[in-house]
C-alpha cells in the first residue's frame, strides 16, 4: 500500500537532477506532483514524460529566492489539485571557493537559494498544514552539513542551517501538530552542478568530486521511502554516502559509531555498500531512537522486504 496515493506534492528544483528524479518517483507512487523550477523547457519535458507514463503532474515556473513567486506556486498547486500535502524542499546551489578568494557573489547566491529559498517554501505551505494538522516537509540537506569539505565553507554552512531548521521544525510542529518533517543528506551527486561553479580553483575541485558522484535516482529512492510512511511514523534523517567511498574519513567516523551494534551481511563486499543512517520517531513521542541501516545500492527497501538490510534500534 502506498501512503502517497493522491497526495499533492510540490518538488522545488525539479527541472533536473534529484528534483526531477524525485518528481518521477512520487508520481509512480500515485502522488499528484507539481514541479517547480526556472527552466520551463525542462519542466515541460519532465511533466510530459510523467503524464505519458500514466502519472499526474503539472509544472510552474518559480523562483525560490522570491517569496511572492513561491506563494504563487503553492496557490497554483492548491487550485490545480487541492491543498499541498507534501513539500520537497530541493532547490539548491553548490558553488566552491576558498575563503581567500572572497567570492561574495557566489556566497550570496547560495544564501539566497539554500537559506531564503527553503524558508520561503516552508512559510508558504505551513499555515495550511497546521490548520489541517497534516502534511510532510522534506528538506534536502547534504553530508556537507555534517562534514565540511575543501573549499566548501559557505556551502557547508548553508547545509548546517538546513539541518538546524529541520530539527527545530520537527520538534515544534512534528510532535505536536502531526506534521512529518524529514531530511535527506546525500553525498556527492552527479547532477552537473560542477559546471555552475564560477571560481576557477573551485571548478577544478568540483570536477574531481563529481567523478565520484552517485546518480540522482538513488537519492530519489531515499526521498520516496522517507515520505511513503504512515502518519504516525517520521523518517527524520537519511544520510547516504556514495558506493565505493567507504574509505573516506566521514564513512570511517560513521562506521565507528555503529561498531559492535551493526554489521553488513556476511559475504557482502563493503565497498559496494551505501551507508544510510535513519532516525525514526513516533509523532507522539519526542524520543528519537536510532536505526542504522546497511543497504546494497539500487535496492532501497524496508528491512522486512530485503534480507540485505541489517538494523539496530533503541526501541
- Asked whether residue 275 carries a pLDDT value surpassing 70, the answer given is no
> Tell me: the pLDDT tens digits for 116-153?
999 999 999 999 999 999 999 999 998 877 878 788 89
Q: Which CATH superfamily is domain 8-247 in?
A: NAD(P)-binding Rossmann-like Domain (3.40.50.720)
**Closest by Cα among 21, 12, 61, 53 to 189:** 21
Q: Which class for 285: exposed (0-12), middle (13-18), buried (19 or more C-beta within 10 A)? A: exposed
If you search the block for the grid coordinates 499555515, which residue do you land on?
A: 127
Query: Is the confidence at residue 210, as pLDDT, over 50?
Result: yes
The rounded mean pLDDT for the chain is 76
Task: Locate all alpha helices (DSSP H) within the chain, ordered by sequence.
Answer: 17-28, 40-52, 67-80, 104-110, 117-132, 153-169, 175-177, 200-210, 216-227, 249-257
Beta bridge mates, 295: 274
For 64-68, 70-74, 298-302, 310-314, which range has the lowest pLDDT when averaged over its residues? 310-314
Report the predicted TM-score, pTM, of the whole model to 2 decimal places: 0.75
What is residue 278's three-state secondary structure? strand
Q: Which of 54, 66, 73 is nearest to 9 (CA)?
A: 73
In tens, the pLDDT along 70-105 reads 999 999 999 999 999 999 999 999 888 889 999 999
- What's the pLDDT band for 197 if we cut at 50, 70, 90? low
pLDDT beyond 70 at 42: yes
Q: How far is CA 106 from the centre of its chain?
A: 22
Q: Which three cell numbers stand for residue 231?
A: 502518519
pLDDT in tens, 212-271: 567 888 889 999 999 999 988 888 888 765 544 433 333 333 322 222 223 333 333 332
* pLDDT of res. 287: 32
The more confidently predicted of residues 308 and 22 is 22
Known active-site residue 155? yes
Instruction: Say which of 59, 81, 118, 155 is annotated catalytic.
Output: 155
Amino acid at each position: 500500500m502506498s501512503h502517497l496515493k493522491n497526495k499533492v506534492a510540490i518538488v522545488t528544483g525539479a527541472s533536473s537532477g534529484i528534483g526531477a528524479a524525485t518528481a518521477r518517483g512520487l508520481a509512480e507512487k500515485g502522488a499528484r506532483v507539481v514541479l517547480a523550477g526556472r527552466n520551463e523547457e525542462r519542466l515541460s519535458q519532465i511533466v510530459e514524460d510523467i503524464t505519458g507514463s500514466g502519472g499526474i503532474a503539472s509544472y510552474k515556473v518559480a523562483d525560490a529566492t522570491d517569496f511572492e513567486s513561491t506563494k504563487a506556486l503553492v496557490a497554483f498547486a492548491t487550485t490545480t489539485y487541492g491543498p499541498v500535502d507534501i513539500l520537497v524542499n530541493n532547490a539548491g546551489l553548490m558553488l566552491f571557493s576558498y575563503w581567500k578568494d572572497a567570492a561574495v557573489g557566489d556566497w550570496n547566491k547560495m544564501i539566497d537559494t539554500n537559506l531564503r529559498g527553503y524558508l520561503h517554501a516552508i512559510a508558504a505551505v505551513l499555515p495550511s498544514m497546521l490548520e489541517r494538522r497534516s502534511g510532510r516537509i522534506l528538506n534536502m540537506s547534504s553530508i556537507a552539513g555534517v562534514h565540511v569539505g575543501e573549499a566548501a565553507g559557505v556551502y557547508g554552512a548553508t547545509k548546517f542551517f538546513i539541518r538546524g531548521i529541520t530539527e527545530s521544525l520537527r520538534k515544534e510542529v512534528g510532535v505536536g501538530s502531526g506534521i512529518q518533517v524529514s531530511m535527506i543528506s546525500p553525498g556527492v551527486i552527479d547532477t552537473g552542478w560542477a559546471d555552475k561553479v564560477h571560481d576557477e580553483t573551485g571548478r577544478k575541485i568540483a570536477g574531481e568530486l563529481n567523478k565520484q558522484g552517485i546518480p540522482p535516482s538513488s537519492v530519489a529512492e531515499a526521498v520516496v521511502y522517507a515520505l511513503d510512511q504512515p502518519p504516525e511514523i517520521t523518517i527524520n534523517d537519511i544520510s547516504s554516502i556514495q558506493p565505493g567511498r567507504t574509505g573516506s574519513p566521514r564513512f570511517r567516523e560513521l562506521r565507528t559509531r555503529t561498531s559492535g551494534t551493526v554489521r553488513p551481511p556476511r559475504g557482502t563486499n563493503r565497498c559496494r555498500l551505501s551507508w544510510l543512517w535513519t532516525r525514526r520517531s513516533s509523532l507522539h513521542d519526542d524520543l528519537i531512537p536510532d536505526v542504522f541501516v546497511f543497504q546494497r545500492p539500487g535496492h532501497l527497501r524496508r528491512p522486512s522486504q530485503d534480507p540485505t538490510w541489517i538494523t539496530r534500534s533503541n526501541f
